[in-house]
A and B are shown apart, each in its own frame.
Chain A
Amino acid sequence: MNELSFLILTVLADGPQHGYGLLQGIAGLTDGAVTPQVATLYRTVDRLAADGLIVEHGTEVVDGRFRRSYRLTETGLADLETEAARRAATARVATKRVKRSRAVGFAGGAA
């Protein structure tokens, strides 16, 4: 699962969102480090929908602008859980290695 898919699923784990809401959620999650182009966002949304990880939640027109919101499916939630666990495990290993590397000095950091 790529970074953007992971972020979209994470945002949706908090509740249904439309496109702009997803962008805001992603920016908030990453402190503005990830700001996908709108076309890229929707390409990923399409792919997640095709894979059955998200579905359309509803549509509305706000201030003359058409919005469609999306929500997680059970499969999406399970995939997000698996991916989050995997990333957390990787992060734990990385953190441990950083600490060890600092402890022995950078010369011993090859391990």
Chain B
Amino acid sequence: MTDLESRYRRLFAAYPRTHRAEREDEMVATLLDVAAPGRRRPALREAGSIVLHGVACRARSATEWQLGLGLAGLVARALATALAVAALGIGLLPPVGNPIRLRDRGVALEPAWLDVPAWTPVVVWAFALAAIVAGARSSWGGRRLIVPGVCAVVMIVAGPDVVGMRRGFIAPFVLLLAMSTLDASASARKRAIASVAGLTVGGWLAVVFVDRFGDGPGRIWMQSDRWYLAARDLVPMRPGDWLVGIVLGCLAGAVRPRFAIATGLVAVPLGLLTVRSRMLGTVEELALAALLGGLALLVVATSRSRSHRAGTPGDAVAT
């Protein structure tokens, strides 16, 4: 095997294994036919094209991703529903007995908190819960995202703190819900992506608007450095929990690669959020977060390399 051929073959790692088994020899032969005599390395444009098409081919390979995404969606919906139920319960408690409010009052009592009407959390979270339940029953992926997304925007605008779970909670909430649409059909997915993009931009514009022009509790809250601190409080797991989760994901991946894909899909964005929330933390915390993020990626990579073992050669051609 010449240097050029082995370099071409290395680039084909970007393609799914079934596609490689079916087409690699043929494509490499054509690449070698085309290559100028004496060439030892693939041209940059050719290499980029191979990698790009390989990655796109992976993305199109529905059989590989479908179950993993479906599982991630299931986890996301279950988690979002559980959080909404918990938040609704907390919201129903009177302020005096509300454990989160008492805890936060112990840390720093903000006058803004007292400005939020007592019924606000109940209404907002009841709406969110209803939306999630209704969305989970919908067969249209976009609807599944839009309603909870609207809830997120409402929560952003509603006040500095709705039920003791602060604004930073919204990001993972929306991310998880967005993930739940990924197992929908291609057209629904496009609508969902467009929706989440619109809602995200809308939500952040609302935040900016409150920050610049609002004069209520939202502005007071936003002028502080509590964004990061709050996010750190609100990512519900501690690094140790992440580690356990990642290890479990690795073990699950050893049994069924798709489980690891699902774990990775949930772990990577939340891991990144952990990194962000710890921006004010110590170097050790950052290093730990980076390590966990790397492990999450490893999970995905491991699953990727194993995921085509049981595939049939004809699949890739039909995608």
Residues in A lying within 8 Å of B, measured CB to CB:
18-20, 23, 37-43, 46, 49-50, 65-68
Residue of B nearest to A67 (CB): B29
For A46, the closest partner residue in chain B by CB is B317
Residues of B within 8 A of A (CB): 23, 25-27, 29-34, 45-46, 49-50, 52-54, 56-57, 316-319
- Provide a sorted-by-A list of 7 A–B residue pairs whose CB atoms are within 8 angstroms: A19-B26, A39-B52, A39-B54, A42-B27, A42-B53, A43-B53, A46-B316
Which 4 A-B residue pairings sit nearest by Cβ, starting from the closest?
A19-B30, A65-B29, A37-B49, A39-B53
> Does the CB pair A39–B29 fall under 8 Å?
no
Main secondary structure of the interface of B (DSSP, over half): helix
Q: Which residues of B contact A46 (CB under 8 A)?
A: 316-317, 319
CB distance from B54 to the nearest CB of A (A): 8
Cβ–Cβ < 8 Å partners of B29 in chain A: 19-20, 65-67
Find chain B residues with CB under 8 A from A39 CB: 27, 46, 49-50, 52-54
**Least CB distance, B60 to chain A, in whole angstroms:** 10
CA gap between A40 and B45 in the complex, in Å: 12
Number of A-B contacts (CB under 8 A): 59
Whether the pair A40, B53 counts as a contact (CB closer than 8 A) is yes
Contacting pair A37 B27 (CB below 8 A)? no
Pair A38/B319 contact, Cβ less than 8 Å: no
Asked whether, in the complex, the Cβ of B317 is within 8 Å of the Cβ of A65, the reply is no
- Kindly report which residue of chain A lies nearest to residue B29, judged by CB atoms: A65
In the bound complex, residues from chain A placing their C-beta under 8 Å from that of B56 are 43
User: Is there an interface contact between B318 and A38, defined as CB atoms closer than 8 Å?
Assistant: no
B27 near A19 (CB under 8 angstroms)?
yes
Known contacts A37-B46, A50-B318, A50-B319: A65-B33 contact under CB 8 Å: yes
B45 & A38 in contact (Cβ 8 Å cutoff) = no
Of the candidates B32, B33, B49, B317, which one forms a contact with A49 in the assembled complex, judged by CB atoms under 8 Å apart? B317
B200 CB → nearest A CB, Å = 31
**Minimum CB–CB distance for B155 against chain A, Å:** 43
How far does the Cβ of B31 sit from chain A's closest Cβ, in whole Å?
Answer: 5
Known A-B contacts: A37-B45, A42-B30. Give 20 more (CB < 8 A). A18-B26, A19-B26, A19-B27, A20-B29, A20-B30, A37-B46, A37-B49, A38-B27, A38-B49, A40-B53, A42-B23, A42-B26, A42-B27, A43-B53, A46-B316, A50-B318, A50-B319, A65-B32, A66-B25, A66-B29
Closest to B27 in A: A42
Residues of B within 8 A of A18 (CB): 26, 30
Which residue in chain A gives the minimum CB-CB distance to B48? Answer: A37
Q: By the criterion CB–CB under 8 Å, are B34 and A23 in contact?
A: yes
